[in-house]
Amino acid sequence: MAIISISLPEESERSLEMIQQSLGLSGRSEAVRASIRIAEAEMKDTEELGGEVEGVLIVVHSTHGDKWIGMLQHKYEGIIRTQLHSHLQNRKCLEVMILSSDSDTLGSMIKEIYRMGKADYVKFVRSR
């Protein structure tokens, strides 16, 4: 097994400890491995979408004054049917978007959100 060293902001360190405790893991390394498995499963779910897709995209971010989410919503306005913006505690914002799109465009949108690195939480829930 490879040994790597990473730097984390304090908030991420607290999150890692919370994951460790929540899952009953014995150490941080196990928490990192579990987090990678969870992220990998999320990515696989997104990549396996095919054809036309409808659902809800949920994004939580702590960049209240930053215009990145508005610019993203304008870029993808053709697939956003409805959107809701709400202010949460600690200057965080919640974005809820009802989307109808081909899977490639949706995948591009989600990847762009991750690449920007400003979202604290991203989840797409596909309607069945």
Domain boundary assignment for the chain:
10-45, 49-126
Residue 98: closest CA among 66, 120, 118, 124:
124
In the numeric block, the tokens 């690449």 are attached to: 115
pTM of the model: 0.75
The per-residue pLDDT of the chain, averaged, comes to: 89
List CB contacts of 30: < 8 A, sequence separation 6 or more.
20
Q: What is the mean pLDDT of residues 65-85?
A: 93
Instruction: Identify the CATH number of the domain defined by range 49-126.
Output: 3.30.70.1150
Position 123 confidence tier, pLDDT thresholds 50, 70, 90: very high
**pLDDT level of residue 128 (50, 70, 90 thresholds):** low
- 12-31 residue pLDDT tens: 899 889 899 999 999 989 98
What per-residue confidence (pLDDT) applies to 72? Answer: 94
